[in-house]
Each structure stands twice: as C-alpha cells, then as structure tokens.
C-alpha cells in the first residue's frame, strides 16, 4: 500500500539507499572525521522513517527483515560484548583492543564493534518508536 505523494515516493527511491550508504560511510569514518555510531544511526533511522512514510510500516518491516526491537537487543549485545576482549587479555574492562588485518592495512578494534552497537541501538530505538506510532494509528482508524 502506497501512502505518500508521487514527489515524495520518487525522491525516496533515490534518497533511502543514498542515506543508508551515507550512514555506513559516517559510521566507518567516525573515528577520525565527524561521524560515528550515534550520528550514523540517526541518519539511517531517518532513511527508514522516510521509507515508512512513503510505503507504510509493513513495507519497511519487510525491507528491514529484522524487527527493530531485535536491533536494539543485538546492538546492546555488541556493546557489552566489545567490553570483554580486554578482559580476556587481562586488562581492565572496556580497554580498547586493536587488531590489524594482515595484507590490507585495515584496522579493526573493539571501539568499532562498540560503535556498531551504538548504531544498531539508535536505529532500533528510533524505528521502534516511529513504526509503533504509525501502526497504532492505523489500528485505530
């Protein structure tokens, strides 16, 4: 069921993928340039909110594939999980750990995992609120 106007739905077709990409870009570069998990999470939540305005909550749920509530749970799990590797190394809880992927010069770290956790929690929380508000509205009408 399409609910949006033509202009909005055409714009959304281009904007939503771009916004999702941009959020990933923000997430990954966040450690050195403006960005980070929180901001990226807000951007991607905005993208899905736009998608929902145009296509309705069911379509957004289908697009997401996972329930936004599970996003929250998984995000929290990543956040807490990223605290543990340090403990394994015998250092204080939550000490950042860095690993370099050989050959690529790519650096992975627990702060990155943590940031992804934040990203998912923000995405999940905002979408839970937005989708629920819409769905409850529709149930009543």
Partner 1 sequence: MQIAVLAGFALAILVPLLSRWCGGRTGLILALYPASIAFWLVSLAPEVLQSGGIYFEQAWAPSLGLSLSFWLDGLSLLFGLLISGIGTLIIIYASGYLHGHPQLARFYVLILSFMSSMLGVVMADGLMTLFVFWELTSITSYLLIGFNHEDAAARKSALQGLLVTFTGGLALMSGLILLNVVGGSWSLQTLLNDGETLREHALYLPMLLCLLGGAFTKSAQFPFHFWLPNAMAAPTPVSAYLHSATMVKAGIYLMARLQPGLGGTEAWTTILCVIGAITMVVGAFLAIRFTGIKKVLAYSTVMALGTLTMLLGIGGEAAMIAFVTFLTAHSLYKGALFMVAGALDHETGTKDIDEMGGLCRFMPVTAACAFVAALSLGGVIPLFGFVAKELLFEAVLDAPRFTGFLIGMSLLASVLVVAAAGIVALRPFFGALKETPKTPHEAPPSMLAGPCVLAGLSLVLGFMPWLAGDGLLNAAAGAVMGTEVVTDLYLWHGLNTALMMSMVSLGVGLLVCWRWPGVRGVIHRFSPVLDRGPEAGYWKLMDLLVRVAEWQTRLLQSGYMRNYLILTLLSFTGLTGYTLLVRHGPVFDLALDVRLQEVVVALVIAASAIVACMMRSRLAAVAAAGVMGFGIALIFLLFSAPDLAITQLLIETLTVILLILVLFRMPQFSSLSTPMERVRDMFVAIITGGLMTLLMLTVLGQDLFTSISEYMIDNSVPLGHGHNIVNVILVDFRALDTLGEIFVLSLAAIGVLAMLRLQAKERKTP
Q: Does 124 bind partner 1 (CB under 8 A)?
A: yes
Q: Which of 1, 93, 102, 104 binds partner 1 (CB under 8 A)?
A: 93
Stretch that binds partner 1, among 1-9, 10-18, 54-62, 89-97 (CB under 8 A): 89-97
Cβ proximity to partner 1, 2 vs 29, nearer residue: 29
- CA-CA distance, 94 to 83, in Å (whole number)? 4
SS3 state at 34: coil
Q: Note the helical H segments in 30-109.
A: 37-55, 57-64, 68-81, 84-88
Contact status: 79 vs partner 1 (CB under 8 A): yes
3-state secondary structure of 3: coil
Say if residue 34 is exposed, middle or buried (CB neighbours under 10 Å; 0-12, 13-18, 19+).
exposed
Q: Restricting to residues 38-57, which ones interact with partner 1 according to CB under 8 A? A: 38-39, 42-43, 45-46, 49
| Residue in 1, 7, 103, 139 binding partner 1, rule: CB under 8 A | 139
- Of 21, 84, 108, 129, the residue at the interface with partner 1 (CB under 8 A) is 129
């Amino acid at each position: 069921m399409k609910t949006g106007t033509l202009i909005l739905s055409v714009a959304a077709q281009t904007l939503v993928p771009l916004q999702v990409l941009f959020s990933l870009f923000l997430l990954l570069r966040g450690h050195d340039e403006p960005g980070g998990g929180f901001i990226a999470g807000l951007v991607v939540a905005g993208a899905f909110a736009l998608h929902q305005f145009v296509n309705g909550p069911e379509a957004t749920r289908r697009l997401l594939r996972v329930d936004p509530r599970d996003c929250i749970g998984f995000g929290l799990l990543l956040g807490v999980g990223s605290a543990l590797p340090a403990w394994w190394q015998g250092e204080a809880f939550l000490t950042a750990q860095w690993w370099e992927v050989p050959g690529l010069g790519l650096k992975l770290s627990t702060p990155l995992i943590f940031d992804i956790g934040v990203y998912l929690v923000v995405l999940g929380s905002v979408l839970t609120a937005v989708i629920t508000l819409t769905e409850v509205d529709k149930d009543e009408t």
